[in-house]
Amino acid sequence: MTTEDAYIIQGGKKLKGEVTLSGAKNAALKMVIAALLFEGKVTLQNVPRIRDLDELLHLFTELGATAEFKDSNTVVIDGTGLKTNTVDLLHGSKIRSTFLLFAPLLRKFKEAHIPNPGGCRIGARPIDRIMNGLKELGGVVDYDHETGYYHARLAGKTQGEYTFEKPSHTGTEFMVMLSVFAEGTVHIHNAALEPEIDDLISFLNEGGALICREGSSIIITGVASLVQKKPYSIVSDRNEAVTFAVLGLITKGDVTVGPIEPTLLDVFVSQVKKSGGGVEIKGTNKIRFFYKGPFKASQIETEPHPGFMTDWQQNWVVLMTQAEGISTVHERVFENRFAFISELQKLGAKIEYDTTPVINPKQYYHFTYDPEKVYKQGIKIYGPQQLHSGVLTVTDLRAGATLAIAALLVPGESIVNGVSILERGYERFVEKVTKLGGEIKRI
C-alpha cells in the first residue's frame, strides 16, 4: 500500500524514445458527462485512467448511472438509471467539471443541485459567465452561499442565444451540452476554440446531434434524442505531449510523441524552433523533439487556443531556466498560475516577478480583473542556470509535471511531494518516464 505521496527521482539522464499519448483529460472528463445525455449505452475509447476521472465516475454511481471499464481505457456508460438530481458535496466539489452534470440532470429532472466546483487552485475560477449562459437560455439559477450549492431549474427546452463576455473552454462545452435538445436553434457566440470542444461536438454529432461551428460561433439545432452508433475514441492529450516534449528537450534527449495531429501543437512547435529546439514532424501523427544546441530566451504570453496555452506555460518556464538570456512569461488566462515558481527557486532557478502594469488589463486578462487587487502575472527567467536537486511540493497539476521535469533535469536525488495532484491529469506518468530512461519511483 502507498504510504507516501511522492516521487523519488534520480535526475541527470537524457530521456530518449517514444511516448504513446493518453486521451485528453480535458476532453474525457466532459465526454463521460455528455454520455449521460444519450439513450442507452455509450462506449468511449482512449479514456485516460487518471484520478479526476475516477472521482467523476465514482459520482456517477452515486447518481445511479453506471460506468464499466471493458479494458484499461474503454468505458461503457449508461445514464438510464440516473435516480437523483443532487451531486454530493464531498466528491462533487473536488473537480472543476462537476457543474457540467447540470446538462444531463436538468434534462432528466428539470431541477438539479450541484456544489460549487473545485479543480486546481490556479485562480478564483468562478462559473458566473457559465451560469449566466444557462439563465440566458431559459434556466433559473440560485447560489446558496451557506451550503456552497448551485440550484438550477429548466422547465422546458433551452432556446435563444448567448454571447460569452470572454471565451470559456468548459463553459462553451456546457452551453453545447445544454442545447443539444434545444427548441429550434441556439447560437453561442464568442465561444472558445479549444480542439477538445470540437472533439465533444464530433462525439455528440455522431450520436445524432446537429451542432455546427462557424469560427467562434456555435449553432446547435435541437434534436429529440441521442443514440450512439459506434464507439467514440477520445483525442490525444496536447498538454501531455508538451510535457514529454519539454522532458526530451531539457534533458538534451530525443523524444517522439504520438499519436497526435501535428497542427494541434503548431504554436508550441514554432516556439520550440524559435528557441533553438529540434523538431521533426513524423508522418501524420507523430512529432519528434530533440536537443540540437543551446536554447535561446523567449517572450511568451499565454492565451486560449490557438495561442500559447496557459497549460504549457509552467513546463516552458523550467525549459527557459536553461535558455541563454532573459525570458519572460505573462499569464493572461488564470490569475494564480505561478505558485510553482518558489519551488523552482528552491533548486536555484533565478526567476523574478515583473509587475509592470499592462495597458487595459480588463481587456487583456481572461479572468475578471479587479483593479483593487494586486496581481503577479509576469515573470522574468534568467538563464542559463545550473539547477540543483532538492525537495519539492506540487502546487497544482501542470506545476506537478514541471517539478518532475526539473527533478529529472538535475543530477542527484530529488523528492517531489504531493504527486497525487499530478496524477489527477497524467496517466501512467512513472511508467512513461521510466520507458524513456528516466529514474523515477513512486513511494
By the criterion CB under 6 A, which residues form the site for ligand EPU?
25-26, 29, 96-97, 120, 122-130, 166, 168-171, 192, 194, 239, 304, 309-311, 333-334, 366-368, 397-398, 425
Give min distance, CB of 230 to ligand EPU, in A.
Answer: 25
Give min distance, CB of 235 to ligand EPU, in A.
Answer: 13
From 297, 405, 419, 352, select the one nearest 12 (Cα to Cα): 405
What is the spatial distance between Cα 176 and Cα 211, in angstroms, rounded to a whole number? 8
Torsion of CA 79, 81, 87, 93, to 10 degrees: -40
SS3 264: helix
Cα-Cα-Cα-Cα dihedral sign, residues 360, 366, 369, 374? negative
Contact between 312 and 345 (Cβ < 8 Å): no
Cis peptide before 259 (omega within 30 of 0): yes
Verify whether residue 120 is a known catalytic residue: yes
Between 97 and 402, CB nearer to ligand EPU: 97
- Alpha-carbon Rg for the chain, nearest whole angstrom, is 22
Give min distance, CB of 223 to ligand EPU, in A.
Answer: 25
Residue 362 CB coordination number (10 Å): 10
If residue 255 lies in a helix (H) or strand (E), which one and from where to where?
strand 254-258
Give min distance, CB of 61 to ligand EPU, in A.
Answer: 21
* N- to C-terminal Cα separation, the chain: 9
Give min distance, CB of 421 to ligand EPU, in A.
Answer: 10
Residue with cell 477520445: 234
What is the spatial distance between Cα 94 and Cα 167, in angstroms, rounded to a whole number? 23
What is the spatial distance between Cα 4 and Cα 344, in angstroms, rounded to a whole number? 22
Residues in the chain: 443
Amino acid in the structure at residue 443: I
What is the spatial distance between Cα 141 and Cα 97, in angstroms, rounded to a whole number? 17
Between 217 and 385, CB nearer to ligand EPU: 217
Give min distance, CB of 158 to ligand EPU, in A.
Answer: 17
Sheet (strand 160-163) strand order: 160-163, 185-189, 217-221, 210-214
SS3 30: helix
Give min distance, CB of 98 to ligand EPU, in A.
Answer: 10
What is the spatial distance between Cα 87 and Cα 312, in angstroms, rounded to a whole number? 32
From 203, 350, 242, select the one nearest 19 (Cα to Cα): 242
Give min distance, CB of 278 to ligand EPU, in A.
Answer: 27
* Burial grade of 87 (CB within 10 A; 0-12, 13-18, 19 or more): buried
Between 128 and 214, CB nearer to ligand EPU: 128
- Among residues 120, 178, 204, 433, which one is catalytic? 120
Backbone angles phi, psi at 115, to 5 degrees: -70, 155
Q: How many CA atoms lie within 13 A of 199 on its CB side?
A: 27
- Catalytic residue IDs: 120
